[in-house]
Structure formats: structure tokens, C-alpha cells
Amino acid sequence: MRTKTPVVVLCLVVLAVLIVASPSVDYLTGFVTKTGQLLIGNSAPEVNYIYLNSQMTTDNPAAVTINPIENSTRAVYLKVTITDLNGNCDAFTGDNGTAYLCNGTGPCNANTADHTITLNYNATDGQWGSGNRYCNMSGPAEDLQFFDINGTWRVNVTITDGINDSSPLVKNWSYGELAAFSYAPTGTVFMGTLNLAQWNNGTGQEETKNTGNIILDLDWNATNFTGQLYGQGINKTGDNYIIDDDASSPDDTGNLAEVLINESDDVQVSFVPASGLLRCSSVACGNENATFDVYWHIYIPGGLKEDTYQNSIEVESSYH
């Protein structure tokens, strides 16, 4: 009996210690409480939709067409909608995305891009829903040139939250065809003061330039000249009025052989490089056959009064 008492006391002490040392075990109420722990990792953002000039892009390039502007640039505004499950997409303000615009249907990435746009959270359009999980992102306007190639283009957008990148979203769109050219940018071809009873060569120099993104052929015709004061006329005969790309006649020093304007007002003559009037390859448009000069050689007969003579010229372009 004496030996049992210390054993019982010892057991009680051990039990007491266990109770004190294990606060999560409530032996008295029968409940068990444990501390749960889990980790939420960073969730990569997701690109949902891509809009170009407010038009939603799809896999079909015909769904969105953006047209060039002759001899100028067309601003393209890109907006994307994204999902960020971490709920902080409103903080994507430091180069948090990139969009590549690529001509053609091949790979579209940093190496092949014709234009690159940096994207950030669009504070104006903001976010929607709760918890900053759905946001609009956009970048500055990107200028597409009038000579950029027409046809199917691709847009590839990737968003980053600073830790993980989204999967790229690639869609198609179309850059429109623009047939355009300029002739005599000053508005007037002034052939100068010409001499009677002789050929006047190399007059009225003006530049012809392709101001679109289509290779063009050019056909020319013209009417007779009429004096503005006395009404005297200078009629075309089929061999007295010539278009050329250099000032010399009949010797040709330019690329194109001179061409006689037809006697009939309705008959056009082709005057354009064999390649057609090519697209410019830069804003300066220094590439061959994207521009060429036009000169006029004209024989003025004798017997005309001093006057200002005018006529009409029609230049017609067509796809090369």
C-alpha cells in the first residue's frame, strides 16, 4: 500500500505536466485545436482580351482592320484586360507588360516585332469587380507608318506582376491597304515662261511619290492648253508634248524613257518605273522607285499671244 501511493502521486504529476505542457489539448472539454498553416504563392497574371483602337482582336484577322493614313502615321492604341488572382493588378505601374506588333503570321516576339509597346495599369479605365483582380492595362499610342506592309499582322501580349509572367496571348488583325500617291506637293506645276517656235525641255519639275502601302502603276493623260485672256489654244498633236523623268530630250539620262502624250484626251500613257511606284521603306523615302521626278517637254508653236495657258492633267493609279 505504501508503494502504491507514490506511484499514484507520480502518475498524477505526470498527467498534470502533460496538461500544462499541451495547451492545445483540452482534456476537459474534449475539443482538439491545432494551428493550421498554408502558403499562398504568387499567381501569374492572365491576359484575357486585346483591343486595338477599341476593337477586340480575335484569331480572325478580318475582325479588326486598321487603315494607314497617306504620307502620315496612324496612331494605334492598345488596351488589354487582365486577371490577377493576387488582387493587386492596380499596382502594375512599372513596365508591367509588353505588346509586340508583327507583320505576317510567323512568330511574333521581341526579335521579330515591327513595333513594341510597353504596358501599364490603366488608371483611367481602372479595374472592375472586387479586389483589384480584373484590370485594364494600356500603353502609349504607337504610330504605324503609311508604308508599313498591309495584310495580316499579329499582336503578342505578355503581362508580368514583377515575379511571374503571364502566358503570352497572340491574336491577329489586319493593317489595311492604302493606294495613295502624291504629285506636285506645292499644288501647281508651273512650267515657266516658255519660248515660241521651239522645244522647251525639262519644264515643270515635280516629284511623284508613293504615299501609301500599295505598289502602283501610273497612267497619264492631258488636255489641250487654253489661253486664259485671249482663248488661244495649244493643241496636242501626239508629238509635241512629252512626259519624262529627266530634263533632257530626246536623250534620256533618267531611268525612264520619255513618253509622248497622246493626241486624244482620253488615251492614257503609262509612265512609271517597270517595278511600279514602290512603297517607301522609311519616312525619308529614299529608296529607289518609291519617288521619281516628272518633267515636261513641250513644243510651242509661233503665233501665240502673251498669256497664261492652262490645261488639265489626269493621273490614274492602279495596283501594280
Q: Which residues bind other proteins (CB under 8 A)?
A: 62, 65, 67-72, 146, 176-198, 203-204, 206, 211-212, 225-226, 228, 298, 300, 302, 304, 306-319
Taking a C-beta distance cutoff of 8 angstroms, is the pair 231, 308 a contact? no
Q: Which is nearer to other proteins, 134 or 183 (CB)?
A: 183
Long-range contacts formed by 125-132: CB under 8 A, 24+ apart: 125/79, 126/90, 127/89, 127/90, 131/87, 132/84, 132/87, 132/88, 132/89, 132/90, 132/91
Instruction: Write phi, then psi, for 248 (nearest 5 degrees).
Output: -100, 145
Reading phi first (left if > 0) and then psi (alpha if -120 to 50, else beta), residue 122 is in: beta
Q: Which is nearer to other proteins, 86 or 150 (CB)?
A: 150
Least Å distance between CB 106 and other proteins?
23
Strand pairing partners for 156?
Answer: 100, 170
Q: How far is the CB of 304 from other proteins (least distance, A)?
A: 6
> Least Å distance between CB 53 and other proteins?
13
Tally Cβ neighbours within 10 Å of residue 156: 22
* Least distance in angstroms from the C-beta of 184 to other proteins: 4
For the CB of residue 250, give the shortest distance to other proteins in the complex, in Å: 21
Closest to other proteins by CB, 105 or 228: 228
Nearer to other proteins, 49 or 299 (CB): 299
Is-contact 309 225, C-beta < 8 A? yes
Residue 68 CB, nearest approach to other proteins (Å): 8
CA dihedral of 4, 7, 12, 15, whole degrees rounded to 10: -140
**Per-residue DSSP letter, 89:** G
Q: Name the residue nearer to other proteins (CB basis): 27 or 319.
A: 319
153 or 309: whose CB is closer to other proteins? 309
What does the block give as the cell for 237? 498633236
